[in-house]
Structures are given as structure tokens and as C-alpha cells.
Chains A and B, each alone.
Chain A
Amino acid sequence: MTATVYLPCDSSVRSLGADAVAKAIVGEAQRRGLSVEMRRTGSRGLYWLEPMIEVRADGTVTQRQDLPSPPVVQPRGRRVAYGPVAPSDVTKLFDCDFLNGGNHPLALGAPEEIPYLKGQERLTFARIGLTDPVSVDDYVEHGGYRGLLHALAIAPEQIVEEITVSGLRGRGGAGFPAGIKWRTTLQTNAPQKYVVANADEGDSGTFADRMIMEGDPFVLIEGMTIAAIAVGATQGYIYLRSEYPDSLRALEAAINAATAKGYLGENICGTGKQFTVEVRLGAGAYICGEETAMLESLEGKRGMVRFKPPVPAISGLFGRPSVINNVVTLASVPIILERGGAFYKDFGLGRSRGTVPIQLAGNVKRPGLIEKAFGITLREIIYEYGGGTASGRPLRAVQVGGPLGAYFPESLLDLPFDYEAIAAEGGILGHGGIVVFDDTVDLARQARYAMEFCALESCGKCTPCRIGSTRGMEVIDRMLAAGNGEKAAELELLRDLCDTMTAGSLCALGGLTPLPVVSALKYFPHDFGLEADKT
């Protein structure tokens, strides 16, 4: 009998020593003469439990009578999890008969029953952690490519209609309705159209794109293929940040596998339709996550933001109509085509429909990926899922939506996670990242960092962003150094500068950098040496 052991090959889990754990398990099994098949999967996203192994025993593997405690009886074929596992735990795990679900201090029971996972609504991330990321057969066995087969059977207008009905909005940060983009490209005549996946996931605190590309790359490729068939594109690009080498390997293996099985290439599923995908690497420029800077970079140029109009849906890559969507947006497309737009729309509330992968990071006890319908509050996310701060100190601030997002105080944690609710409080939902800070954080330093980051990453095309960010750092420095009576003038200057950047910048980098600055001033004036009523 062979036991199957599952262990993530996700780069985050590898950064915690997963490869050494895999080696230790295989080595120990050999020493004991046991048959173990090691399968690498994506991560379930319960990162505080990683490296988390899962075991599925297909019968009795060992016949031990001297177990320290009775084995946890698992129905045949079900998985049982253990974590976080270090290589030094492996001998003891074998002693406890973990291959048959034996008890051990690291035993977690059935992974699906862990409350963090059980409370989620996994649509886009449904397969991650279950399948071999680069096996087409595994993908199809777990429901993959049903959306594409449906899309191939209906008219392009109907595909776009399903996306429109679903209410799917761009998950990259801008929140623009995907159906409108697709319809615009569909209705624009051109000899060549493109589908571009924006995989330049540069926001600190976010890793959803990475988890998809490493854990279930086919769902992105299928989403791109559906988009291509809907709008009449034949070439796709994935613009991938260079910081994700494991994603590159997984995507290229998946593209080759999908091509070999006829899901990509000259004759998709025998329909005569054509679509090919190529991965292109960025080179460490945050601004290339802005869609027009990304297009410039794909064309082999400096990543300078373009003026709009024309919108890329009409004149995009190489001047051709291009559908540009974030990885999560495209990865949400297959289930919409499989289950229908109305099914997807039933999740969420108001104008925020469907599910959102919330990425919980920073100083939090249980960081990870939480896919939920829109509407869960920040407090539920941070305390019920996250368990509060990792340091055990009081929570002081959370930054929602990446480096361009606002810093919120504890008193605003009852905000629902929803595009409009967060915007109403002067923030952005962004790509869905939340970074938690305890009471050791200095918000004046964080505000200065926001300006510094903008100065580092500005493309330089517009003056408010290029010059304003450097002047912003300087004025914050002066304000912090000034005596009590002299801060007011610097504060006025900083507010003026923030207004100019907000109103006068060409894109979201310069336009949103004031959000972390202004929110820090508003909610944490003492960190700047200011009294609350003067701000």
C-alpha cells in the first residue's frame, strides 16, 4: 500500500524549508521500507501552519501496536493535515504513524475542517492545495476547463454578457467592471487583438496572484483563453514581475502542458480557434503594474504611463485593442462561465459582487489568504481569522490596499471589506491586501515612507508625482524636526502638496500616494508631534 503525502511547492512555503521537509519524509520512508508518494501542490493559504503536510492513506501502511495514542480514524481517502512541520519533526511523525492519520502534537485533523478554511467561500481558489499545479489531468479532474468548453459553445456576445451579469470588477486595484472592458474590445474591429494578464503584483501585503500562478496556473490560462475567445484575440501575454521566479516556472510548464493537450494553440479543443500565451518578465519597476506603463514595458520601452484616452480596450498593446485584467480577475472567469454570471453575483453586496481573496499580512498571528464574499468586516478578518497581532501587543493601525492605501485606526475596523465602503472612508480596497501594525509603529515614519516609495517608483512623466514625492519627503522631515510653534506652516504645505498630487497626477501612483499620508495625519497626529484638533 502507498500513502500519498501532499506538501506545497508554493514559494512562500519553500521559504520556510518545505523542500527540506519533503526530503526528510522521503528519506525516512525509505529507511523504514514504507511506500510514500510525495506530491507537491499549491498552498491552502494557512501560512502560519506552513509547511503543512497532508496525508491520504489508501489502506494500512504500517502495523504498529505501540503508538503513543490511538490513531485518529479517518475515512479512507480523506486527507489529514499536520503543521507547521520542520525536518526535525519527521521521525516523530513516522513514530506516531502519521501516514495513517496517527495522533501527533502537530495533527490538525481534516484540513477542510480547520475554521480558517471552513469559513471561506472559495470559488477562485477552490482547487489550490488539492491539485498538482502543472497537471492538466488533475485540473480537469477537479472541474477545470468546464468554463472554457461552455464558452466555446456560445457566442462571444453571450460570454461578455455572463461576465457583465456577474458584476466582476477588476481585482488589481482599480475595480473597473470587466464586462465593459471586454465589450469595448469585442466591438472594436482590428486585425490583431491581445489579452494581457497583469501579474505585476507589487503591493506589499499581497500574494494572491502569486498563489494562483504557483498553485493553479491553469485557472489563469483558462480565464485568458475565455477572454480571447470572447473578444477575438489570438495572442496573450502574462506580464510577470521578476520577483516571482517560481511563478515563471509554473506558468511555463502549465502553458506547455495546456498546449500539448490542445487547450491552447492553433486549434483549441478542436474548434479551429487559436490562442497562444507567452510570459514576459518585468524588471523591478512598481509602476509597471499600472496598465499603460505595463504596455510600454511589454513593447520593450521605459515603463512610462500613457495618457488616456485612448483606453487600452480600443488602442492598447502595439496600438491594438487589448483586454487587460489582473490575474485574480482572469482567474475568476472560468467559474463564472461554468456556473453562470448570476451564480457569481449572488455573493457579495451592493456594487461589490462575488468573492475577493483577502490577503492578511504584517503583524498578525494567523496570516494568510481568505477568500470571502465582499462585506466581511476588517475586524472579523483581523481578529476572527487573524487572531490579532503576532507580537501580542495592541493593534494600532492597518494599511488596507497596498502602499497607496490608507492607514486606518482600530476604531474603523468595523468597516466592511467592500470597494465603496472603504472608499467612503478615504481609502482603497486595492488588490485586497491588509497589513497589520502593532503599537510600536510610527505613522509619521510610514507617511514619509509612502512619499519615499513614490519618489523611487515614479515613472517621471508628470510633475506632481515626480517632484511632489521628493518635496513630500522633505516637508515631512522638516515638520518632524520643527519646534511646536513651527509645525503649522509645514503642515499646510504638506496638505497643499497632497492636494496637488491627488488632483494633478496622471495615474494612481502619484494620485493615491497622499492616501497613506493624509490618513496618517488624520488618525495619528501625535506621531507627527501635532495635536489632534489642529489637523
Chain B
Amino acid sequence: MSHQHSWDRAVVESIAHAFKDKPGALMPILRRIQDELGWVPHDSVPVLAEILNLTRAEVHGVLSFYHDFRHEPPGRNVVRVCRAESCQAMGGVALAEHVKHRLGCEFGATSSDGAFTLEPVYCLGNCACSPALVINGELFGRVTPERFDAVLAALDEVSQ
């Protein structure tokens, strides 16, 4: 089996053992793995199946069902842009185009330099301050292309 990305098996095992006795443990386990690693490696599927006494198909089925779980490591920064109706009504479509252009990647992809992953999200509950997006976990409202560029510029300073 080829390993495109290395991952820490011990982290996955310890999380699985810590949560396995909770009712409905698989969801909290996958969430914690992603919190720790930034993604859920496919090779963790048989590990989780073994520890939770599930089939690989069951684990894979859950992992692939939910939009949140990443199947590859994300870029150094993650940008999530709301694409739902309230943001659409306030210029969200144009903002999304601007963000794609600035980051140099499409939705669901990572820029070629690994700096940014761009993800769609369908409602952040920030509809009274549309359009909205999230940059590295921080929520922004009433976002204009100019405001997005300003936040991005501040990020560059931090990372250099």
C-alpha cells in the first residue's frame, strides 16, 4: 500500500482507545483525529475497525459520508467560504470568485504551494452579517473583497 502522506498511527490508536466505550463512539473519534492531525488518514480505517469491532466498510462509510472529514492533509491555512442563500443575497458569489482567484485554487482543493485549502460551507449562522467566511477557525462577517485581502495580508506577515 502506498503512503502518500505520513501519519501517526499511535495518535489514532490512543484516541480510539480513549473514546471506544462511549455510546456512538465513532463520530467523536473521527472528530478528535481530525482535530489532532488536521485530516483523517484512510489507513486509520482498519485500525479503527479493529478497535471498535466494526467492519472496515462501516468505518469507511461514516468517514466518507460527512463533509467535514478531510481525506488529505490541508494546506497551512484553511479558508471556508459560505455559499448559502443569505450570503448569495449579499454578494457572496462574487466574494467566492475573488477568494478562488486570490488563493489560486478551486473549492475542495489546496493551492499548489500548499499555503491554502479552500472549502465550501453551507451556512455559518452569521446570516445577519453576510457574507461570511472562516479563516483558520476565525469567523468574519460583512466581508468585502477588500476586507478579505486585508485579512490575508495580515496572515502573510504572521507566517513570514
Contacts and interface: CB of A to CB of B under 8 A. Distances in A.
Interface of A: 11-12, 14-16, 45, 47-48, 50, 201-207, 209-210, 242-245, 280-286, 297-303, 318, 359-363, 367-369, 390, 399, 403, 433, 435-438, 441, 446, 449, 453, 456-457, 459
Interface of B: 23-28, 30-31, 58, 61-62, 65-69, 82, 84-90, 121-130, 132, 137, 139-142
Contacts of B58: 301
Given A284-B67, A284-B121, A300-B62, A435 B128 contact: no
A286 B142 CA distance: 24
Given A283-B66, A303-B66, 14 more contacts: A14-B139, A50-B129, A201-B125, A202-B122, A204-B122, A205-B85, A244-B125, A283-B67, A284-B66, A300-B25, A301-B26, A302-B61, A302-B62, A435-B89
A15 B132 contact: yes
B126 A362 contact: no
A-B pairs with lowest CB-CB distance, top 10: A204-B84, A283-B66, A362-B89, A361-B127, A47-B128, A15-B141, A300-B26, A300-B24, A284-B67, A284-B68
A243 B24 CA distance: 20
B24 A16 contact: no
A242 B65 contact: no
Contacts of B140: 15
A294 B85 CA distance: 23
A280 B129 contact: no
A391 to B, nearest CB: 9
Contacts of A12: 125-126, 128-129, 139, 141
A403 B30 CA distance: 28
B129 A303 contact: no
A65 to B, nearest CB: 39
B141 A204 contact: no
A16 B129 contact: yes
A11 B62 contact: no
B31 to A, nearest CB: 6
B137 A210 contact: no
Contact of A206 (B27, B30, B127): B127
Contacts of B30: 283
- Central interface residue in A14, A201, A368, by most chain B CB within 10 Å: A14
B62 A207 contact: no
B124 to A, nearest CB: 5
Nearest to A209: B125
B150 to A, nearest CB: 12
Contacts of A449: 85, 88
B129 A245 contact: no
Contacts of A438: 89
Contacts of A202: 122-123
A217 to B, nearest CB: 15
Given A15-B129, A47-B128, A303-B65, A403 B27 contact: no
13 contacts: A12-B129, A16-B142, A47-B129, A50-B129, A281-B28, A318-B24, A360-B128, A361-B127, A363-B90, A369-B128, A435-B89, A437-B89, A459-B65
Given A202-B123, A207-B128, A300-B26, A16 B141 contact: yes
Contact of A362 (B27, B28, B86): B86
A462 B62 CA distance: 18
B111 to A, nearest CB: 21
A509 to B, nearest CB: 13
A399 B85 contact: yes
